[in-house]
Structure 1
Amino acid sequence: MSASVEGRTATIPERIWLASYPSGFPAEIPPLAYESIGAALEHFCAVHGERPAFISMGKSLSFRGLEAQSARIGAWLQSRGLSKGDRVAVMMPNILQNPVVVYGILRAGFTVVNVNPLYTPRELEHQLNDAGAKVLFVLENFAHTVQQVVARTQVQDVVVCSMGDMLGLKGHMVNLVVRRIKKLVPMWSLPGHHTFKAVMAAGAGKTLAAPNVTRTDIAFLQYTGGTTGVSKGAMLTHANLLSNMEQMGLWLETAFIGKKRPEQLVFLCALPLYHIFALTVNSLAGLLTGATNILIANPRDIPSLVKDMATYKVNVFPGLNTLFNALMNNPDFQKVDFSNLALTFGGGMSVQRPVAERWRKMTGCPIAEGYGLSETSPVATANRLDTSEFTGTIGMPIPSTDVDIRNDEGASLPIGEIGEICIRGPQVMAGYWNRPDETAKVMTADGFFRTGDIGFMNEQGLIKIVDRKKDMILVSGFNVFPNEVEEVAMTLAGVLECAAIGVPDEHSGEAVKLFVVRKDPNLTEADVRAHCADNLTNYKRPRYIEFRNELPKSNVGKILRRELRP
């Protein structure tokens, strides 16, 4: 197969990974059955009825309840004078209001702008203005941030939610604890704001009009982390998300090859729903499969998270390396019954082999790693979910997805050679919001998205990420990939977490610096150096080692190397 790529001809490899699919497994997803996510929601809510869709702090919301409550939100939004496609921002953690609001926005014909509740005022102002958001739903814990910037945005209506709004009588106690005892709600003032309960009451008296939404309409503006510059909104269409939902639904079945599939799956939703990983792998895949999602409002509260894992018979746990690591270092985690855990799905960052091996030993369930980005809705590749071993790769392209490894000139590279991972499929975004110049930088003439991640594909079609282009360290002309240094360091028993970066060096151009969080307080710099000397060639060894109490992390727990750079 060949195609014109940036003025040249690239030979795109045949789909060699199909030979690694389970026998009879489809190479393509079927034609989409729905025009919009809203239409899909209405169908699946009718199918799954009174099954619990989401559980938060012990309170359950059924699929039928999700349909009814989201209709109220959608009807109220339609009464506010918005036009089809207008942007509505959601600034909430994993509480019941989150899916109710998000699906209400989509059903009303508007576009969701997911906002990290932990944003600083500067970050929030940028995102609201870049998206042109007209309405903002925010948890009261973060209303003080909104107060500082809302006057400088296009936001016309602010809806303030409280933690207990959908918890019934228990909600009064929850709000009392959050506000008065834990003091988690800083003082705020937003004149003219609406309360969530008032909006729900007003929506109950209105009828949700069916909007003329098509698959090409934008469902989400999903903002990237800004690691390569200013944060940009990836335009994810209804077709993008519906496609990835179907892809994940198909792939999920590989977890139950040779096993009995539970009648209703239970997903643990510890990653935030405003992040693309949980949005698709938890919420949308849960909708398709009729699963129950256990919402974790604060995944940093490891003891509470462990209690929820023990209470609910979790079958599917999407997570990331730092979360797996933190859980295993909690003594109560080792007492949990993991007999129902059929799938641990790792994404968001590289899963380190020492973490994966310890996880399997402790839970009896291997970690199946996958890969994706905000721009790919997100899942593009995954290991087979019936795997019994940790492969150390991000797996193979999922159905209807092509992956090509290309050099800087855009030419395809042979199997085994390292280059940029490029992705094409129905889940790839329509482009960056209002940034055609940035879109042009990442989309090739033949429809591949250039991820900026460096890796290679082996003969089985499995892909190994080496690192991001910008994270590569150049030591005396030799490429050093931080992931390799970190993975070696993590095999040292006294290391809890670590991160490697490149720092300027007058002799070698750059040198490796390793930041370490100790598990063993007696761990010394000499211990780390000796371990690295045993496992890494000279130019890869850290020249500088710094011990820290913690490492900077993103909202989903990904270690931020950029914040460690001088």
Structure 2
Amino acid sequence: MSKPWLAQYEAGVPAEINPGEYNSLVDLLDQAFREHARRDIAAFMEVRWTFAQVDEMSRALAAWLQAQGLSKGARVALMMPNVPQYVVAIAAVLRAGYVVVNVNPLYTPRELEHQLKDSGAEAIIILENFAVTLQDVIARTSVKHVVLASMGDMLPGLKGPLVNFVVRHVKKMVPAFSLPNGGPIKVTTFKKALSQGASGKYTRPTLTPNDVAFLQYTGGTTGVSKGATLLHSNVVANILQNEAWFKPELAKLGNQPLVAVCALPLYHIFSLTVCYFMGARMGSMNVLIPNPRDLPGVIKTLGNYRVNQFPAVNTLFNALANHPDFAKLDFSGLKVSMGGGMAVQQATAEKWRKVTGCAIVEGYGLSETSPVATANRLDNTDFNGSIGYPLPSTEVAILDDDGKHLAFGEPGEICIRGPQVMAGYWQRPDETVKVMTADGFFRTGDIGVMDANGQTKIVDRKKDMILVSGFNVYPTEVEQVVSLHPGVLECAAVGVPDEKAGEAVKVFIVRKDPTLTEASVAEFCKEQLTGYKRPKYIEFRNDLPKTNVGKILRRELRDEKKVS
């Protein structure tokens, strides 16, 4: 197929990457630990850890895991927010020859049980704050080994015990729990596992590009949560693709150690690949943010660093840009602000650039693509509402329901082919066949159009489309318009039943201006949208339902019975 996007690449970005540069992520990590040994890899609570320290600790934890008798390819779940133990644990599980199963620590017992059962996880490394959730389900899973981490485990001197005391007894952030310990289930602490592993034997596994590295579970917003099977080769490819895309801009900063904000949780594939692995490859330091919803805390933390990279979702960019204290920070080193996970809205992009002087560059990807598939050029300073161009070694096609390639400008399903595309859904061949074409394209479920230059715009997800009197209305378009109203902080548009039109547009709004009225919004939409696209119902809310990474859950709003 033709690749018109190649002519649009920034100077220095190659058409192809060499995914065979590493046999596995372990090779990549070993090289990073060796080459960047003296650099800092992570910062948390004003403490920093070097690559050499994480190398030593992850090797010790890997040795401990191997000593438990787990077979190569065993699944090990990680259930933590962005704490330094996570940085160690990811490397340890992979270096032991096992498969990482990332778990959202805010899962309910039902959600956790599903993921542990589905993955067949035999071990879990979990922050004690969330152990009460595990307590409820562990007996019904295959988990036999629990490594229990505490918030202050890796903090030096008296700071660690002090943080643990405050977290447990002052802030009361650790609900009482009682995990079974004895018989088939063994519980140990993170510190004890490190100590025992340090004096144990570590055996470097023999891994191939086709070995499984991650079971990355989809958010479940489109049905039952499924594990995207990501091979070592998939994630290696995406690291190299992102590095190739980022390098021309980041090179302008020289060979200095770069600082990245790691506010997106590491269990999210965007953060995992772009912050953790690309950071390791490039010798960057990640500033770990355990709770990005604590805006004053985030801003206070960022004040301690000269940040160069800031990957985030629209909601976090928007919340920070509208916080008065954020504007007081030093943004002189900020070179890349990359938006993903959901559509970046024009109002957010303009506000962020005004406050920081750095444009948000929108990218696009999914768990199934490790994740990044497309991105705008990093030297792009104007908001264009597109998801950009396919990354090196990536092909994007717009297909109809029969798999036919559509012409430029025609809306169809965005489909992706490249070395970062998953091997399939874990133990779900029936689900895998639904999303893969015969010639290797992954069907994303997103509707988009591509122009003659190879630039793609998302129109919307198939199931989010609203059908008004036979006309397609795409919520993203409505949200983009409504969000431009100066009195709107954030919004979400959904379809609700309507006797005359079949469906009508309803918009939920969080006000920026407390005096904002329905009439004002309606008049604004009248100027911006054709009749059938205008919201018939407008409802103001104090907040909108979101996933833990800040993605607005339209489904929850759509499923509400009340219309007005």
**Alpha-carbon shift at residue 322 of structure 1 (Å):** 0.2
Output the CA distance in 2 between the equivalents of 1:274 and 1:174: 23
> Is the CA contact 2:408–2:450 (under 8 Å) kept in the aligned structure 1?
yes
- Cα deviation code 1:198-247 (max 9, x no counterpart): 11111111121011211101000000011221000000000000010111
**Against the structure 1 CA distance between its residues 82 and 256, is the aligned structure 2 distance closer, same or farther, given a 3 Å change threshold?**
closer
Letter in 2 for 1:407: D
**Alpha-carbon shift at residue 560 of structure 1 (Å):** 0.4
- Cα deviation code 1:3-54 (max 9, x no counterpart): xxxxxxxxx4x00000101235310002422211112111111000110001
Letter in 2 for 1:154: S
Query: Aligned pair 1:547/2:535, yes or no?
Result: no
* 1:29 counterpart SS class: coil
Counterpart in 1 of 2:172? 183
Output the CA distance in 2 between the equivalents of 1:267 and 1:462: 27
Letter in 1 for 2:243: G
- Cα deviation code 1:288-318 (max 9, x no counterpart): 1000111101111111111222210000000
**Alpha-carbon shift at residue 416 of structure 1 (Å):** 1.0
Output the CA distance in 2 between the equivalents of 1:198 and 1:454: 50
**Against the structure 1 CA distance between its residues 65 and 256, is the aligned structure 2 distance closer, same or farther, given a 3 Å change threshold?**
closer
- Alignment partner for residue 115 of structure 2, among 99, 104, 127? 127
- Cα deviation code 1:242-264 (max 9, x no counterpart): 0101111111113247x343511
> Is the CA contact 1:254–1:386 (under 8 Å) kept in the aligned structure 2?
no
Query: Aligned pair 1:533/2:521, yes or no?
Result: no
Query: Aligned pair 1:250/2:239, yes or no?
Result: no
* 1:331 counterpart SS class: coil
Output the CA distance in 1 between the equivalents of 2:495 and 2:254: 47
Output the CA distance in 2 between the equivalents of 1:263 and 1:475: 54
Output the CA distance in 1 between the equivalents of 2:522 and 2:323: 28
> Is the CA contact 2:209–2:233 (under 8 Å) kept in the aligned structure 1?
yes
Counterpart in 2 of 1:211? 205
Output the CA distance in 1 between the equivalents of 2:12 and 2:29: 29
* 1:421 counterpart SS class: strand
Output the CA distance in 1 between the equivalents of 2:13 and 2:125: 42
Counterpart in 2 of 1:18? 6
Q: Number of matched residues?
A: 553
Output the CA distance in 2 between the equivalents of 1:260 and 1:141: 39
- Alignment partner for residue 364 of structure 1, among 346, 357, 368? 357
Query: Aligned pair 1:38/2:26, yes or no?
Result: yes
**Alpha-carbon shift at residue 189 of structure 1 (Å):** 0.6
- Cα deviation code 1:308-353 (max 9, x no counterpart): 2221000000011000111012111011111110110000100001
Letter in 1 for 2:307: V
- Alignment partner for residue 52 of structure 1, among 19, 40, 44? 40
> Is the CA contact 2:19–2:236 (under 8 Å) kept in the aligned structure 1?
no
For residues 146-545 of structure 1, what are the structure 2 equivalents within 5 Å? Answer: 146-169=134-157, 170-192=159-181, 193-256=187-250, 259-545=252-538
- Alignment partner for residue 127 of structure 2, among 115, 129, 139? 139
> Is the CA contact 1:494–1:523 (under 8 Å) kept in the aligned structure 2?
yes
* 2:54 counterpart SS class: helix
* 2:447 counterpart SS class: strand
Letter in 1 for 2:247: E
Letter in 1 for 2:490: E
Q: TM-score, normalised by structure 1?
A: 0.96
> Is the CA contact 2:396–2:417 (under 8 Å) kept in the aligned structure 1?
yes
> Is the CA contact 2:19–2:233 (under 8 Å) kept in the aligned structure 1?
no
Instruction: Identify unmatched segments of 5+ residues in structure 1.
Output: 1-11
> Is the CA contact 1:525–1:545 (under 8 Å) kept in the aligned structure 2?
yes
- Cα deviation code 1:507-565 (max 9, x no counterpart): 00100011111111111111111111111111001111111111000010000000111
- Cα deviation code 1:249-286 (max 9, x no counterpart): 111113247x3435111111000000000000100000
Letter in 1 for 2:238: N
- Cα deviation code 1:484-508 (max 9, x no counterpart): 1111111111111110000111100
> Is the CA contact 1:371–1:380 (under 8 Å) kept in the aligned structure 2?
yes
Output the CA distance in 2 between the equivalents of 1:24 and 1:389: 21
Output the CA distance in 2 between the equivalents of 1:74 and 1:489: 50
- Alignment partner for residue 53 of structure 2, among 58, 65, 71? 65
Letter in 2 for 1:200: L
Output the CA distance in 2 between the equivalents of 1:529 and 1:108: 58
Output the CA distance in 2 between the equivalents of 1:200 and 1:338: 38
> Is the CA contact 1:256–1:386 (under 8 Å) kept in the aligned structure 2?
no
- Cα deviation code 1:176-217 (max 9, x no counterpart): 111111111100011322111111111111121011211101
RMSD: 1.0
Query: Aligned pair 1:97/2:107, yes or no?
Result: no
**Alpha-carbon shift at residue 58 of structure 1 (Å):** 1.2
> Is the CA contact 2:260–2:275 (under 8 Å) kept in the aligned structure 1?
yes
Counterpart in 2 of 1:85? 73
> Is the CA contact 1:268–1:295 (under 8 Å) kept in the aligned structure 2?
yes
Output the CA distance in 1 between the equivalents of 2:11 and 2:209: 31
- Cα deviation code 1:411-456 (max 9, x no counterpart): 0001111100000000000000000000000000000000000101
Letter in 2 for 1:450: R
Output the CA distance in 2 between the equivalents of 1:561 and 1:534: 25
* 1:553 counterpart SS class: coil
What percent identity do the matched residue pairs reach? Answer: 60
Counterpart in 1 of 2:98? 110
- Answer with 51-60 or 468-477: which moved more: 51-60
* 1:311 counterpart SS class: coil
> Is the CA contact 1:254–1:384 (under 8 Å) kept in the aligned structure 2?
no
> Is the CA contact 2:363–2:376 (under 8 Å) kept in the aligned structure 1?
yes
> Is the CA contact 1:299–1:305 (under 8 Å) kept in the aligned structure 2?
yes
Output the CA distance in 1 between the equivalents of 2:250 and 2:260: 15
Output the CA distance in 2 between the equivalents of 1:288 and 1:391: 30
**Alpha-carbon shift at residue 120 of structure 1 (Å):** 0.2
> Is the CA contact 2:208–2:232 (under 8 Å) kept in the aligned structure 1?
yes
**Against the structure 1 CA distance between its residues 334 and 443, is the aligned structure 2 distance closer, same or farther, given a 3 Å change threshold?**
same
* 1:70 counterpart SS class: helix
Letter in 1 for 2:389: M
* 1:514 counterpart SS class: strand
Output the CA distance in 1 between the equivalents of 2:345 and 2:229: 31
* 2:271 counterpart SS class: helix
Output the CA distance in 2 between the equivalents of 1:488 and 1:267: 31
- Answer with 193-202 or 121-130: which moved more: 193-202
> Is the CA contact 2:219–2:225 (under 8 Å) kept in the aligned structure 1?
yes
- Cα deviation code 1:156-189 (max 9, x no counterpart): 0111100000012211111111111111110001
Letter in 2 for 1:166: M
